[in-house]
Chain A
Amino acid sequence: MAIFSVYVVNKAGGLIYQWDSYSPRAEAEKTFSYPLDLLLKLHDERVLVAFGQRDGIRVGHAVLAINGVDVNGKYTADGKEVLEYLGNSANYPVSIRFGRPRLTSNEKLMLASMFHSLFAIGSQLSPEQGSSGIEMLETDTFKLHCFQTLTGIKFVVLADPRQAGIDSLLRKIYEIYSDFALKNPFYSLEMPIRCELFDQNLKLALEVAEKAGTFGPGS
């Protein structure tokens, strides 16, 4: 998927909506026998690969699932510690799924409010008066586009660098917000958006934008 995530940030910098696309490319599931030839370590409540790389499993990847059952931080679904479990030869052969560690919702909240502050710095650093905040952030793997409305709400989209048409996508997301979130009388302003119609229409709009946008290789 060429559009990776969508974030909506309210006036105070709080994250009120978040959507991530699921990218199976970033994950690898393999069967292992004892002893494990990858070195695992515990870091930040997650089990990560510290050393050893093969078959699509890289350093920094986290253990996502063991034998098909999703792992919960450093514990398996049954409550056993992952490192202990994998250190015991009786549990082998075992199938482990590795992948890029996903951000927890707390981390996403923190990143959103950090972005909110950075956005303001963008306009303060400007040599010209009345500059906007950060509109685009570019790295080699993605481009972050941000649109701030006159009322202070920010719509942030992370997409493939080659993806075109994100500006009109941002405006479309603004329209979808003003329709399915604001016109829902049970939705309170500035609060997290939990409206199904908003989700559905957002996904539709993302699909349309992806089809219309990328014309490069790998799309």
Chain B
Amino acid sequence: MSRQANRGTESKKMSSELFTLTYGALVTQLCKDYENDEDVNKQLDRMGYNIGVRLIEDFLARSNVGRCHDFRETADVIAKVAFKMYLGITPSITNWSPAGDEFSLILENNPLVDFVELPDNHSSLIYSNLLCGVLRGALEMVQMAVEAKFVQDTLKGDGVTEIRMRFLRRIEDNLPAGEE
């Protein structure tokens, strides 16, 4: 996909099938390379992290959202703006913990897993673990340390895909000036 210097429209249309095939090729190659589901999950998380730290700047440059002041605002922005912008879906936010530091993102349909079925020998593979890495990397660049993990997955027979996000702490070192 090449970019021309003058981009008139905001986003280029690309076939989602190509995206599904690309992601699938990535996961299957990782499975061949590592042979162990746990290692593949870690690699997917790491790759997602590297995507996340770059994606956040693109997101901030295009969406013009300001700094979020609490985790609820963050959850809203992630579900309603970010997921919509990049995957075209709007997950719902549920299951807030009493302290307001954990919530769940419920994805009705996950574009990464169109047409995918997990075989029995890969039962502990978290296919979409890239997404957890992306969320972790992106939020780390805006000074929030979070943990993201899949608790339900349609590939494993659950009804919906659920990502649990937990706020760990605010990252205080290297704060940009004026953000105390």
Chain A residues within CB distance 8 Å of chain B = 11-12, 119-120, 122-124, 130-133, 148-153, 171, 174-175, 177-179, 182-183, 189, 197, 200-201, 204
A122 CA / B174 CA spacing, docked (Å): 17
A152 near B174 with CB under 8 A, answer: yes
Cβ-defined partner of A132 (8 Å) among B53, B62, B178: B178
Closest to A151 in B: B141
B54 near A148 with CB under 8 A, answer: no
A214 CA / B174 CA spacing, docked (Å): 37
B178 near A151 with CB under 8 A, answer: no
15 A-B residue contacts at CB 8 Å? A11-B174, A120-B178, A124-B177, A130-B180, A131-B178, A149-B57, A149-B61, A151-B56, A152-B176, A174-B57, A174-B60, A178-B61, A178-B62, A179-B58, A183-B54
**Which residues of B, 136-158, contact A by the 8 Å Cβ criterion?**
141-142
Contacts of B5 in A (CB 8 A): 200-201, 204
Known: A130-B179, A149-B61. 6 other contacts (CB 8 A): A11-B176, A122-B178, A151-B60, A152-B174, A178-B57, A189-B54
For residue B169, CB closer than 8 A to chain A, the reply is no
Chain B residues bordering chain A, tally (CB within 8 A) = 22
Cβ-defined partner of B178 (8 Å) among A148, A182, A189: A148
Most buried by B among A132, A153, A178, A183: A178
Contacts of A183 in B (CB 8 A): 54, 58
A131 CA / B176 CA spacing, docked (Å): 12
B57 near A151 with CB under 8 A, answer: yes
B178 near A150 with CB under 8 A, answer: no
Contacts of A204 in B (CB 8 A): 5-6
A200 CA / B61 CA spacing, docked (Å): 19
Contacts of B141 in A (CB 8 A): 151
Q: Determine how close the nearest CB of chain A comes to the CB of B99; give it in whole angstroms.
A: 24
Q: Determine how close the nearest CB of chain A comes to the CB of B52; give it in whole angstroms.
A: 11
Contacts of A150 in B (CB 8 A): 60, 66-67, 142, 176
